[in-house]
Structure formats: C-alpha cells, structure tokens
Amino acid sequence: MPKGSKRSIPAGKDLPRCMRGRSKLLDSLERLANIRLIALDIDGTLTDGQVVYSVEGSVQRYSVHDGQGLVWLRRLAGVQQAWISGRAGSPARRRAKELKVECLRLGVGPKGPVLRSVQEELGIGPEQTLSMGDDLPDLALADGSALFVAPRNARGEVRQRADFVTKANGGAGAVREVCEWLLYAKGFWPPAPGQNPEGSAGSSPAHEEGAAG
Ligand SMILES: [Mg+2]
C-alpha cells in the first residue's frame, strides 16, 4: 500500500485514548485523513516553552512521546513535516535532524509567507496542511492551513482560534496527540509491533531518530 493512502477506519475499540469523548474530532476524520503536511511551531509546542541558557549555549526539552509519534507519522502515513520558529537555535536543529524533519525554518518570520514557501516546495496546499502553535505569531500558520491546533496551555487568543485544542500541554505530549489523531484517521492506528519503526533494541534507527526513551 502506498504511503499515506487511506485504509478503512478501524473499529472504535482501537480509538486512541486521547480521542475518546471528542465528538468534534471524530466528526472531522475525513479532514484529518486528507492532511499531508503538518507545520509545527517549536517553542511552546514541541517544547514546554522554557529555554535554559548556559555559557555553552541554550538547552530545550523535547518529548520522546512526540518524537515517536512523528516518526510513525512520517514512516507509516507519509505525512511530511515542517518546523517553523522565529528563534534560531542549535538544539532545535539537532532534534529535527534526529527525526528527519523535511523542512526546518529557524529564525524566520512572519510565519505566513514561510509556510507558503514550504507548501510550494513540497507541492502541498493549505487544504492538506495542519498547523499547530501556541502564541500569537502562530495565528499566521492558521490562516494557511485547513486545520489549526493549539496545545492546552497556548495563549487564550490562540486557543480561541484553534479548530482543536489538545489535552496535553506543549512539550508534554501535545504533538503526540495530533500524531495519533492523524494516524487513526488515516487507518494506521494502532501501529502493530511489527511496524515499530524504531526497530529492535540496539539498532541504529532508534539512536539516530532519538525518539525512544
Ligand atoms: Mg511558540
């Protein structure tokens, strides 16, 4: 089966826990299944928004649960990723490399034109783009996307604009939730043990991709 192709939607018993009781999400499965690009803000979305500065540079914390979800999303469903941040920083560059993110845009803005350039580069339009962000500059991503998601602890204005708000905070599994929504909608949930893209213990992909804890 080609990557990203839609299979029949699995039975309700396989519904990810983060989708239970969320009727609006379940009513949007067709729209979710149509997504081919996710565009993510970094600080406060992929991280908890904290940046620690030391004499040796800056330190950020990323969720391994988010990482595993993003690896599944790319490998099983063929969904492409763009990480877009107004702030430059080597931790983000390293994490994106580990996860093989297709498009990394650091130290850029405003985000609307940046997203458009990514979409042109990948040949994927707004109608097949889902974006996610936590602060006011990210509303420009919303304008260029079919669906916009905010982490639970996003700024109020951003939550209000969002089509969906995750149960988890940024950097604490919010991105993983979106990955599970998309995997489910596209018929790739739950990933079978044999499909574990991290491979067996000690194999190189687990280390290269840095998603396993
Ligand atoms: Mg942010």
What is the per-residue pLDDT across 202-211, written as a single tens digit (0 to 9) for each?
A: 333 433 344 4
CA 170 to ligand 1 centroid distance, Å? 9
Check residue 31 and give its pLDDT.
Answer: 97
CA 20 to ligand 1 centroid distance, Å? 27
CA 122 to ligand 1 centroid distance, Å? 23
Q: Is omega for the bond preceding 190 within 30 degrees of 0, making it cis?
A: yes
Residue at 194 is within a domain: no
Residue at 56 is within a domain: yes
pLDDT digits (tens, 9 = 90+) for 30-72: 999 999 999 999 999 999 999 999 998 899 999 999 999 999 9
CA 202 to ligand 1 centroid distance, Å? 34
Domain count, the chain: 1
Check residue 210 and give its pLDDT.
Answer: 45
Q: Is 110 exposed, middle or buried (0-12, 13-18, 19+ CB in 10 A)?
A: exposed
- Average pLDDT of each block of 10 consecutive residues along the chain (213 residues)? 50 83 95 98 96 90 96 96 93 94 94 98 98 97 97 98 98 98 96 59 39 41
Q: What is the CATH number for 113? A: 3.40.50.1000
Q: Is 106 exposed, middle or buried (0-12, 13-18, 19+ CB in 10 A)?
A: middle
Question: Between 64-77 and 174-185, two packed helices, what is the crossing angle to 10 degrees?
Answer: 20
Residue at 6 is within a domain: no
Residue at 165 is within a domain: yes
Residue at 210 is within a domain: no
Residue at 63 is within a domain: yes
Q: Which domain holds residue 149?
A: 13-187
Check residue 12 and give its pLDDT.
Answer: 61
Residue at 113 is within a domain: yes
Q: Angle CA(25)–CA(45)–CA(92) in degrees, nearest 5?
A: 135
CA 7 to ligand 1 centroid distance, Å? 33
The rounded Cα 15 to chain-centroid distance in angstroms is: 19
